[in-house]
């Protein structure tokens, strides 16, 4: 394992993508169980609900799995994993949405990036709507850092507990 951070980066992308899709399904199903008003008609509250879940649910298991893979440096791992998640979600995801909203491939020349991407994502994810997206970028990123670190701490405590049990058993 000569260059572990390249593997960690690729693994972070795959884990984040998978957990993000799972979070999308969990959030969509749980929102309708809590509120009867559709999310697009109740954006003042739904953006908070969606924002919190999308800032926590993909990152906690990602932090735990990455720490179980690397097994050291939880703070650097936290910053790295949250940074990769930030770039994938708020960079690449918004870029691809902007391309789709602008009619790629026929008529896209970087027009209205990131606004057109936010407008397209706002249809399904209320935290990308105008007026909320800046708060989501700030507070969602902070929550994702805390969530990844919580995942590493959970994995670390489980690892030390299992090592103590093995040591006591022998």
What DSSP string runs through 15-49?
HHHHHHHHHHHHHHHHHHHH-SS-GGG-HHHHHHH
Q: What tokens were used for 146?
A: 């805390």
For residues 56 and 96, the model is more confident at: 56
pLDDT at 107: 61
Least confident stretch, 39-53, 56-70, 77-91, 126-140: 39-53
How many domains does one find in the chain?
Answer: 1
- Domain hosting 112: range is 4-164
With respect to residue 58, please indicate whether it lies within any of the assigned structural domains: yes
Average pLDDT of span 128-142: 92
With respect to residue 170, please indicate whether it lies within any of the assigned structural domains: no
- pTM for this entry: 0.85
Is pLDDT above 80 for 110? no
With respect to residue 130, please indicate whether it lies within any of the assigned structural domains: yes
What is the torsion angle, in degrees rounded to the nearest 10, for the CA atoms of residue 133, residue 102, residue 94 and residue 114?
Answer: -50
Is pLDDT above 90 for 130? no
């Amino acid at each position: 394992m000569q260059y572990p951070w390249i593997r960690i980066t690729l693994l972070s992308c795959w884990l984040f993508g998978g957990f993000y899709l799972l979070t999308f399904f969990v959030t969509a199903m749980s929102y309708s169980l809590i509120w009867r008003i559709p999310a697009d008609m109740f954006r003042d509250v739904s953006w908070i609900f969606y924002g919190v879940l999308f800032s926590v649910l993909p990152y906690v298991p990602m932090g735990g799995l990455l720490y179980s893979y690397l097994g050291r440096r939880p703070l650097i791992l936290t910053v790295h994993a949250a940074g990769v998640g930030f770039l994938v979600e708020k960079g690449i995801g918004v870029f691809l949405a902007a391309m789709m909203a602008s009619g790629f491939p026929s008529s896209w020349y970087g027009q209205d990036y990131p606004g057109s991407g936010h407008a397209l994502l706002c249809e399904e994810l209320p935290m990308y709507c105008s007026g909320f997206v800046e708060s989501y970028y700030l507070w969602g990123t902070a929550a994702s850092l805390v969530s990844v670190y919580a995942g590493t701490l959970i994995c670390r405590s489980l690892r030390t507990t299992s090592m103590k049990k093995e040591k006591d058993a022998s």
